[in-house]
Structure 1
Amino acid sequence: MIDRFWAKFGKPSSDSVHTLTKDNMPKHVAIIMDGNGRWAKSRGLPRIAGHHTGMKVVKQITMAADRLGIQYLTLYAFSTENWKRPKAEVDFLMRLPQEFLSIELEELIANNVQVRMMGYRDALPSHTIRALEEAIARTADNTGLILNFALNYGSRTEMTDAVKRIAEAVRDGELKPEDIEESTIAERLFTNGLPDPDLLIRTSGELRLSNFMLWQLAYSEMWFTDVYWPEFSESHFHEAIAEYQRRARRYGGL
């Protein structure tokens, strides 16, 4: 699949994939962490084994992003559509934030990482919310990398809710239709206050956005790899950054 993609768009030469420059580092990287279940299946393991291994990769890539000076890292951890999966798998996924943060929170704090979450909290189990709220509270004053988990997140619902709030503001006389601008919508999204991602990475060979940050990714560079998330390494991350740095971002201009 990826070979077909590169055949159409061109593949970078291998001799420069890890040459990085500090002056062209993306500020915000978003990642669709895909392929945990398929990685496990290819090894004769249960799907949850892939999710557990993938959790360990989260720490590795977070620390790699921090070392590179990336300011924001948004990870697609659980979508609003993922509730369709078997209950046992969903229950396991809902326990991963608690396990991850119980192990890694102190190191995140020591590295000045600030934890955030975007998504719909109401449907999440109480133990998941408690773990996240503790991490968010304890890292609130940190000034380094912002680690933003997209959990129970769906972009179409996010945008629909933003439109509803704008309609309510117009109905209540707080906003005139002629005053609605792009910023009017952006300010009502979960990412209000964050810059749009400069780079989107998706693992596992899939070439789609899967309802992730559809508004925010309008001008993001995209990088796809066949590598499953549990196998994604710092070297792969550097490869994605190097490809980003080779591209010219013109935002519709020349």
Structure 2
Amino acid sequence: MTGFNISLVEEGLTAYGVERQGAPPWSETRRFWVDAVLQGMARLEDSGPDPMQMERFDRNLEQARGSSAVQPASNQLRRDTIHAIGNYLSVLESVGGDRRRQIAVVRDLLEDMSTHLPWAAGSNELHDILDQTERMLPRMTAAIAPIRFTRVLLGWETGPCESCYASGAVTTPEQVMDSKLYRAISRRYPEVTDWPAVCVVYHGGGRDTPIGVGNAAEFDLEIMNRAGDHLLDLPGIRWMSGPYEFYCEPAPEQTMEGAEPSDPHMVM
């Protein structure tokens, strides 16, 4: 038993949902976060989720929509709720297994709270716990995720230069030019006709050999690109091959028509 006060967390997150009604990213997304956190706590307590939990949540939000005034959560309830979420996060890290998606939900919920002054203000631990999630996710990705990925660097030291992580082994100009990063940076700088690229392939999961390693998934890349170059210093990351150095020079008939909008976080 982990000793979570789930009823208190339900009360706090319901109050938060009521306060944020009508604010992006809208109630459906917040409802998902609340449901995931409460269910996660219940499962760690070795008890099934309360089937009436989200019905109560929905009913409270519906009643608040018909009210002329919404009573905000008390300072004590906010502090207790955030503290309980921090405890939940610590348990997720300690129980073992790949808990990254549950931790990512906590991160998304706390990021949302950090944009709402009543919950973000004061000494309620929110920002410290949010920072904790940002450290945990890349650390766990490096240590437990058996994935293959490439750090792609485009540009010059004295000019436009960007980097990101790509899924699998990216070792040729053609592969780089097929990436969103390349399309985005070449669209922003159409005057540049060729781009120097440096690619280094790594694998994670703490394995000394790449046997059993698969290509990084979109979820892995999202975590790694948020972490940046700091990821490569974490225990569990192993060099695989490279560097591969070359110029990306599109054929004259190629244009940037239909290039995707800038998104340096997602590649390949």
User: Normalising by the residue count of structure 2, what TM-score does the alignment of the two structures yield?
Assistant: 0.25
Structure number, greater radius of gyration: 2
User: Normalising by the residue count of structure 1, what TM-score does the alignment of the two structures yield?
Assistant: 0.26
Q: Which structure is richer in relative contact order (CA contacts within 8 A, separation 6 or more)?
A: 1
